[in-house]
Structures are given as C-alpha cells and as structure tokens.
Amino acid sequence: MSEQKRAWWKEAVVYQIYPRSFADSNGDGIGDLNGITAHLDYLKDLGVDAIWVSPIYASPNHDNGYDISDYRAIMKEFGTMEDFDRLLEETHRRGMKLIMDLVVNHSSDEHAWFVESRKSRDNPYRDYYIWKDGKDDGPPNNWGSCFSGSAWEKDEATGQYYLHLFTKEQPDLNWANPAVRDGVFEMMTWWCEKGIDGFRMDVIGMIGKENYNDGPVDPGALYGSFAPSCMHTEATHRYLQEMRKRVLDHYDLLTVGETSGGTENALRYASEDGSELNMVFGFEHNDGINDGNELGKWSDHGTPLKEIRAVLNRRQMELQGKAWNTVYLGNHDQPRQVSRYGNDSELFRTRSAKMLATMIHTLRGTPYVYQGEELGMTNIYFTRVEQYQDVEVHNVWKQWVESGRVDAQDMLRFFARIARDNARTPMQWNAEKNAGFSTGEPWLPVNKNYLLINAEDQINDPDSVWNYYRKLIALRHQYDIFVYGWFEPLLEDSDQIYAYRRVLDKQVLTVALNWTDRKVTCNLMDDLTGEELISNYPTHQKGILQPYEARVILSVTE
Ligand code: TEU
Ligand code: CA
C-alpha cells in the first residue's frame, strides 16, 4: 500500500447523468438541471462520490449536446447559469463532486468561432477549424465520418471543405492553432474557477491531426479510416501535456479521457507520472472483438466472455502500478448492460444485473455507473426506425438501408441490440405517469417495464439491484483492497466464469462470477476461509456456481 499514491479520484465511484433523460422539473418532456438538483439526495443515499453530467452547454442538439454553440452558457432546455450554480452548490453541500463533460475535439457549426470561420478565407477565425481544397471534384481525402458519409463538407461560401469526424454540424477544431488552445484553456479555467471538480474529455484522443493522407479502406467499407492520421498522435499527447500544465495542475481535479485505444495508449494518457490525465476509458471490451464487419458495430454478434475477459484482464495487468484504470460497461453510447451482457428476462434480470455490478466494483480502477444501471434498466427494443431519435441511427439507415445495401429487418435487429437510444430512455423513478420522469410528453418514450423496474420500489426492497449497488459502493469505501488491491486473474480457461483475486498486504479478495444462465461446476470458493462480503444468492452450493451467481470473499493470510 505504502508505495501507492492515494487519490480521491481513485477511491470515488462516479455516477453518469444523461441530463436529457434524468428528471424533468417543468413538464416540457426534457430532463433539466433543476431535475438533477431535486434528486441529489437519491444519489447521496446510493453512496456515489462524484457525478459526471453529459454536456449541459448551449447547443442546437444535433447530437444531444455533444455539439456545443457556447461553452460558457447553459442549454436553454436545461435551465440557466443560476440553476447550474445551485446544482454545484447543492452537490458540494452533500459532499459530492461534479464532473463536467468537455467536448473540444469539435464545436457546433453554430458556435461563434465557426460562424466567423466559414465567412471568408481570410476571416481571423478561419484557422480555428480545418479547411482544405477539394481533390478531383471531390473531398480532400477518403475519410469517412464516425456517423456515416464523408468526413468533409463543402461550404459554398468559399468553395472549400471543412473536416467533421462526427456529423456535419460538428466541425473539428484546429488544435494546431495556438489561438484555439488558448481559447479552450481559458474556458476550462473559467469553469474550474467556478469550482467544478473535473472533466470527462470527449474523444480527446482525436484532437491532434498528424496529416491528411487517405486512410486504409476495410473490405466492404465505403470510406477510408482517419485513424492513422487522427488517433493517439504525438500532437495529441503534446496538447494534453500543455493542458495539464496550463490548466489542470492548478486544481485538484478528476480527469478522464474518452480515448478508445488499447493498453499502450492508456499507459501514456494516464501514466502515474501525472503528465497528462488521471485515467481513460477503453473501448475494446465493448467494441466487441467479433463484431469486425463492414457495418462496424452493427451486427448480431455478442462477444463471448472469454474474449471480453481477455481484454479486461490484459488492461488490469498492464496498467496496475503504471496508469490508473476505469471500469464500466454502460454509458449513453452503449446499450443497457443487463440486456447486452446479462439477461433481461424476468427470471434472471435482477441476478445478472447484480453479477455485472459486482464485476464493475471489484476490478481495479474507478467504477462508472450509468444512470438507471443501478435499477437494472433494460433496452427498449424499438421495432421501427421512426422511433429512434439518435442521429447515428438515422445516418446509418440512410447509408446502408435506404441505399439497398442492407435489409431493413436485419438493421432493425442490430439497432434493437446495440443502438444508443436503448440507454437514453427516461429514468424510471416510480410507478406513476411516465415513470415519474415528467408530467409532459417525454422526448423519448419511457420503457414500458417501469411498473416492474423503478427506483421507488427498489429503494424499499432490500433484495433489489439498487440496494446491491448501495452495498457494493459502501464496501469500496470501507475496504482499501477494493481500490488499491493488486489484480491477479484466475480460471483463465473457463468459458463461463470470470474469476480473479485482489491482493493488498495480508488481505486477499476473491471474486467469482458466473456469466451464464446455467449451473457451472466450480470449486474455487469452496475451501476459502474468510468473510463473504457480498453475493447475489442467499445460499451457495458446494462445487457449483448457480446461474449468474456472484461471490466475493475476503480472506486474511498469515
Ligand atoms: O463518443 C465518441 C465515440 O467515438 C463513440 O462512443 C461513438 O459515439 C459511438 O461509437 C458511436 O457508434 C463521444 C460521445 O460520447 C458521443 O455521445 C458523441 O456522439 C461523440 O463523442 C461526438 O461528440
Ligand atoms: Ca424540462
């Protein structure tokens, strides 16, 4: 223990709020800041230490706030700056921290910088964005955007193209321009001076563009990849080191980068030497090792435990002692974790949700809980494309289905399994109208299962998923070993069980998780002496793990 540096952001459990879907205080069907403030006691009771709010800045909402038109103003649907100040104050008053989303790879095309930039080639803000001449009557290179189509948009005013790695309403900022860095760093400092406690940095691994060469084209793909030129470049590391010195080092912040990439990238971004960020989110376990097809993530394939575990274990082993880690399964970009990795049938939903929760709180790294996950909320399983609001879905539909390349029913099946709106349906607070989310018409329908799955019932039920999360979070606060224990993999050949050990001084924490809906032979836990800290079954069977059984035993060695 002595050689490990303690930090509040290592010990914290972070709860992610997607404000649009959390709680609506004024009946317009859209969640808002006052809705969050009204539910802070709920979060305090759950025990979380920090709240990360997805973007709440002024935005035309082409990508639900990930397209920001003013970094120092609050989205009008969400409230006012006074509402924000109160949210911050009330969060702090309860001893919790507030983490802001920082979206600075791109802005909205309605941001004042871009409005100026597109006016003329010699506008003082021209170089705030990335403008290039076309090539052979087409875009400057073959890059595709993350949200379908070319990553370049021709702007009639000047005849040049601008780069947008996401939608065309999200032009990429030009970080090579020192004025852009000054502007972003000043804005960050302004929020830090207000007293916020950290930043979750959106696609921060893409800010440094190394060159503008054509990218490799995967078989069947329509566009080339920008990754070799834009992902994890040396320039990005330089910009982050500069950000660290000019802004982050002046405050006691939690900084988490959304970087994707493998362990080699995480080791640099989140190195314990403190030169860049505290920690980063990896994508590999969620991206699905088997999902490699021309449609990217859109497929029928789940990833077998063996492959998810291999990815998670490699990250655990390679990062410990060198870079701090994050642990999560769900967020606003992923489907509901219980539907994806557990089992959302009535028989197994609660057990499997608890099993996954056990994993998230016992691996080494800061756990991130996405709103509703603590209730075992499930996918909504829309059946028609019109039911979706997400720009990603509609762009994919245009590119692959309307063009006749992919069958509509197939794509709808992929959407139901993996689309982002599955996790964006309103929070299920109680059994009243609209699950207590809003008195008006919710912007996205409430999942019909809210009578069965809602916070009010679960708070009152000692066996609920909610109370299980509460207990796990309390255990993390009580025992250092959950935070600082060394990780050792166990049973690495099993197709059904995820097991590992955490070790700290004389303590050993052994964790066994059955990832299947069947009984599985396993004697790992049988002969352990020690205290069972938590399990999702009241009784155990010798030599067996029951369906989705999770067990955590703390032993002391002499
Ligand atoms: O996401 C970045 C990202 O690359 C993915 O999570 C992406 O949304 C997903 O793979 C789509 O299939 C971040 C935000 O979390 C996301 O909500 C935004 O849409 C995106 O950046 C653009 O800001
Ligand atoms: Ca509202």
Residue 135 sits in the same domain as residue 265: no
| Ligand 1 neighbour 333 (Cβ under 6 A) | yes
Catalytic residue among 202, 276, 284, 374: 202
* Cα-to-centroid distance, 435 and ligand 2 (Å): 15
Annotation says 210 is catalytic: no
Domain CATH number, residue 515:
2.60.40.1180
Q: Which numbered atom of ligand 1 lies nearest the CA of 106? A: 23
Buried b (16+ CB within 10 A) or exposed e, 434-453: bbbbbeeebbbebbebbeeb
pTM assigned to the model: 0.98
Residue 24 sits in the same domain as residue 100: yes
364 lies in which domain range?
Answer: 8-104+179-387+423-472
Each of the 558 residues of the chain gets a pLDDT tens digit; together they read 557 899 999 999 999 999 999 999 999 999 999 999 999 999 999 999 999 999 999 999 999 999 999 999 999 999 999 999 999 999 999 999 999 999 999 999 999 999 999 999 999 999 999 999 999 999 999 999 999 999 999 999 999 999 999 999 999 999 999 999 999 999 999 999 999 999 999 999 999 999 999 999 988 889 999 999 999 999 999 999 999 999 999 999 999 999 988 899 999 999 999 999 999 999 999 987 655 677 889 998 888 999 999 999 999 999 999 999 999 999 999 999 999 999 999 999 999 999 999 999 999 999 999 999 999 999 999 999 999 999 999 999 999 999 999 999 999 999 999 999 999 999 999 999 999 999 999 999 999 999 999 999 999 999 999 999 999 999 999 999 999 999 999 999 999 999 999 999 999 999 999 999 999 999 999 989 999 999 999 999 999 999 999 999 999 997
Ligand 1, pocket-test mutation among 62, 64, 146, most atoms within 8 A of CB: 146
In a domain, 1, yes or no: no
Residue 25 sits in the same domain as residue 124: no
In a domain, 448, yes or no: yes
Number of domains within the chain = 4
In a domain, 252, yes or no: yes
Neighbours of 527 (CB within 10 A): 7
* Cα-to-centroid distance, 436 and ligand 2 (Å): 13
Annotation says 197 is catalytic: no
Domain CATH number, residue 370:
3.20.20.80
Residue 156 sits in the same domain as residue 191: no
Q: Which numbered atom of ligand 1 lies nearest the CA of 105? A: 23
Rounded CA-CA distance 339/207 in Å is: 33
In a domain, 551, yes or no: yes
Phi, psi of 181 (to 5 degrees): -65, -45
Residue 399 sits in the same domain as residue 413: yes
Domain CATH number, residue 121:
3.90.400.10
Residue 290 sits in the same domain as residue 438: yes
**Residue nearest atom 11 in ligand 1 by C-alpha distance:** 333
Residue 323 sits in the same domain as residue 359: yes
Residue 184 sits in the same domain as residue 250: yes
* Cα-to-centroid distance, 267 and ligand 1 (Å): 22
3-state SS string for 418-460: HCHHHHCCCCCCCCCHHHHCCCCCCCCCCCHHHHCCCHHHHHH
* Cα-to-centroid distance, 544 and ligand 2 (Å): 49
Rounded CA-CA distance 4/488 in Å is: 17
* Cα-to-centroid distance, 438 and ligand 2 (Å): 8
In a domain, 317, yes or no: yes
Residue 236 sits in the same domain as residue 372: yes
Residue 409 sits in the same domain as residue 432: no
| Ligand 1 neighbour 230 (Cβ under 6 A) | no
CA 500 → CA 181, 284, 297, 525, distances in Å? Answer: 43, 20, 29, 11
Name which of 494, 498, 536 is nearest 349 in CA terms. 536
**Largest pairwise CA distance in the chain:** 76
In a domain, 467, yes or no: yes
**Residue nearest atom 3 in ligand 1 by C-alpha distance:** 203
Neighbours of 149 (CB within 10 A): 16
In a domain, 151, yes or no: yes
Residue 378 sits in the same domain as residue 443: yes
| Ligand 1 neighbour 63 (Cβ under 6 A) | yes
In a domain, 47, yes or no: yes
Residues whose beta carbons lie less than 5 angstroms from ion ligand 2 = 24, 26, 28, 30, 32
Residue 337 sits in the same domain as residue 413: no
